[in-house]
Structure formats: C-alpha cells, structure tokens
C-alpha cells in the first residue's frame, strides 16, 4: 500500500511538472532590424548672453559657462534680500532653418537650508521682451509650457530670486538643475 501511495505521489508530481512545462510552452521568432544612425550638429544649443562675464553683486562675476558643443550650460550669479533679477545671462539659440519648440523642466530644485528663498524662477524671454514661459525652480518636475524658438533666432533664460528679509542667508551656494527639451512638435512630447 505504501508503494502504491508513493507511486501515486510520483505520478501526481510528474503531471504537475508536465502541466507547468506545457503552460509555458511557446515559440520565439527573431527578425532582424538594421540601423543606419546619422550624427549631426545640434540645431538648438546654449550660448552666452550679453551679461556673461560682467560684474554682479558684491563684485562677483556673473557667468554662463557653455559646454564645448553648446548642449550643457552652468550659470553662476549672486542674489540678495528682496528681488534679484539676472537678465540676458544665458541664451537658447536655434541655428536651423525651421522653428523648434522647447520647454524647460526642473530636475533638481533650489533648496534653502534656512528657508531664506521665498521664490526662485527661470523666465524664458523673446527678443521683444515678452515672457514665453516661467519655471518655478522650487518644485521638482515642474515644466514651462511649450514655447517656440523661431528659425535663426534665440530666446533668453533670465532668473528671478526673492530672499526673505530678516532670514539668515544660506552658508553654501544654492544649486539647481533644469533641463531643456526641444522638438519639431508642438507641444513638446513627454520624455520616456
């Protein structure tokens, strides 16, 4: 009897294992895709504004440091209590013969350890002085609406910081990271 019981258990185990194999049985088909990827110079890129390397607050130099291919930029400037505007320090240039559409998004927000920063914004301004978009630098993931960069022209990225009077200044620099996303589509599609 014990032998039949073991045989029955073995048979059931074999059936369960076979059922598992059958339920995962299938096939795989492989097709080939060949790719030819062309490299090109960026049609939209960063350039320094007219206030690059000028003297700002407390004798500090305002800078827009542009990467060697114009696809990265670092801005350096000082702010103080009240409202500080940094204008025409950084440009986004469209060297193509077609309009591109863009948006700026906050990857890393401004963080003040003392809470002195009550607002921080990047403003996209066209050649007529019209504000095309405003970006809250205190909110991660925030983006401007889509704005146009016409063929052969540029837009300026200005900065506006408000520091609360009576609050201690931060002892280390305020850092932030924003991204430029551009496309020939309006609005700029969401990135994956």
Give residue 151's pLDDT: 97
Residue 77 lies in a domain: yes
Give residue 16's pLDDT: 60
pTM of the model: 0.82
Total structural domains in the chain? 1
Residue 59 lies in a domain: yes
Residue 3 lies in a domain: no
Q: Which structural domain, as residue segments, surrounds residue 53? A: 44-183
- Specify the long-range contacts of residues 107-110, CB closer than 8 Å, at least 24 apart: 107/140, 107/177, 107/178, 107/179, 108/140, 108/175, 108/176, 108/177, 109/137, 109/138, 109/139, 109/140, 109/142, 109/176, 110/137, 110/138, 110/174, 110/175, 110/176
CATH number of the domain enclosing 163: 2.60.120
Give residue 96's pLDDT: 96
- Partners of residue 75 on adjacent β-strands: 64
Residue 29 lies in a domain: no
Separation CA 29–CA 85 (nearest Å): 60
Residue 2 lies in a domain: no
Residue 144 lies in a domain: yes
- Specify the long-range contacts of residues 39-42, CB closer than 8 Å, at least 24 apart: 41/69, 42/69, 42/70, 42/71
Per-10-residue mean pLDDT of the chain, 192 residues long, equals 64 61 72 95 97 95 97 98 97 97 98 97 97 98 96 98 97 96 94 77
Residue 150 lies in a domain: yes
Residue 172 lies in a domain: yes
Residues 184 and 100: beta-carbon distance below 8 Å: yes
């Amino acid at each position: 009897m014990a032998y039949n019981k073991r045989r029955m258990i073995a048979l059931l185990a074999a059936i369960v294992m076979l059922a598992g194999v059958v339920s995962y049985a299938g096939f795989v088909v492989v097709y080939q895709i060949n790719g030819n990827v062309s490299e090109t110079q960026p049609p939209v890129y960063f350039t320094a504004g007219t206030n690059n390397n000028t003297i700002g607050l407390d004798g500090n130099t305002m800078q827009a440091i542009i990467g060697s291919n114009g696809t990265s930029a670092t801005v350096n400037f000082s702010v103080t209590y009240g409202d500080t505007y940094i204008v025409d320090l950084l440009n986004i240039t469209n060297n193509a013969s077609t309009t591109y559409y863009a948006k700026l998004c906050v990857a890393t927000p401004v963080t003040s350890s003392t809470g002195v920063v009550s607002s921080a914004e990047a403003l996209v301004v066209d050649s007529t002085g019209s504000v095309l978009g405003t970006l809250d630098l205190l909110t991660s993931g925030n983006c401007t609406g889509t704005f146009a960069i016409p063929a052969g022209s540029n837009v300026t990225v200005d900065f506006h910081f408000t520091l609360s009077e009576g609050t201690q200044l931060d002892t280390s620099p305020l850092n932030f990271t924003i991204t430029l996303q551009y496309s020939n589509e309006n609005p700029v599609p969401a990135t994956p």
